[in-house]
């Protein structure tokens, strides 16, 4: 069934489009920046792969135009967010909170604001695309994870490509 939303998306250049949130099903994204529930319909906005069949914490972005993007990994979300053209468009970034859910099958009941998380970089766990920073709301949990799996703790503000290159070279 083709919905009105999909038709608007197919039509392309209507001004109303920025409010419709093409590519995401069943919600008025402009009015609601709360995290999506990921299904096997969602493809990573950076690499295009199906998101939910792989382990590791995922990421989401809500753009100022209301569009919501999902990512196969925290790593791909950060790569997108660090592109110069992305920055001004970001209204919110979310990551799975590993203080409350697990690495292998992170639950969509446990998203948190990306900029409030502690990240472990350089641990030994594999995410969808290889290494991915592991986000925790609790610093203690991040430290416990790093004791078990290796890696160093970083806050969002100091995380960048150089940190990833240094602590988790690909």
Q: Which is nearer to Zn ion, 20 or 46 (CB)?
A: 46
Stretch that binds Zn ion, among 17-25, 73-81, 116-124, 144-152 (CB under 5 A): 73-81
- Please, what is the minimum distance in Å from the beta carbon of residue 95 to Cu ion? 16
**Residue 24, interface with Zn ion (CB under 5 A)?**
no
Q: Which of 8, 22, 47, 153 binds Zn ion (CB under 5 A)?
A: 47
Separation between Cα atoms, residue 43 and residue 163, nearest integer Å: 27
Q: Which is nearest to 99 in space by CA: 58, 148, 55, 141?
A: 141
- Please, what is the minimum distance in Å from the beta carbon of residue 86 to Zn ion? 14
- Please, what is the minimum distance in Å from the beta carbon of residue 130 to Cu ion? 9
Binding site for Zn ion (CB under 5 A): 44, 46-47, 72, 76
């Amino acid at each position: 069934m083709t919905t009105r939303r999909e038709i608007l998306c197919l039509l392309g250049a209507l001004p109303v489009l920025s409010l419709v949130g093409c590519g995401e099903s069943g919600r008025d994204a402009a009015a609601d920046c709360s995290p999506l529930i990921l299904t096997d319909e969602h493809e990573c906005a950076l690499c295009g792969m199906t998101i939910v069949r792989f382990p590791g914490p995922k990421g989401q972005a809500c753009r100022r135009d209301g569009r919501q993007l999902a990512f196969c990994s925290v790593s791909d979300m950060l790569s997108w967010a660090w592109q110069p053209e992305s920055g001004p468009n970001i209204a919110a970034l979310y990551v799975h909170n590993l203080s409350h859910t697990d690495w292998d099958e992170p639950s969509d009941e446990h998203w948190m604001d990306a900029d409030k998380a502690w990240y472990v970089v350089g641990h030994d766990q594999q995410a969808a695309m290889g290494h991915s920073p592991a986000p925790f709301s609790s610093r203690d949990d991040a430290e416990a994870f790093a004791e078990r799996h290796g890696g160093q703790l970083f806050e969002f503000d100091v995380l960048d490509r150089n940190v990833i290159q240094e602590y988790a070279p690909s």
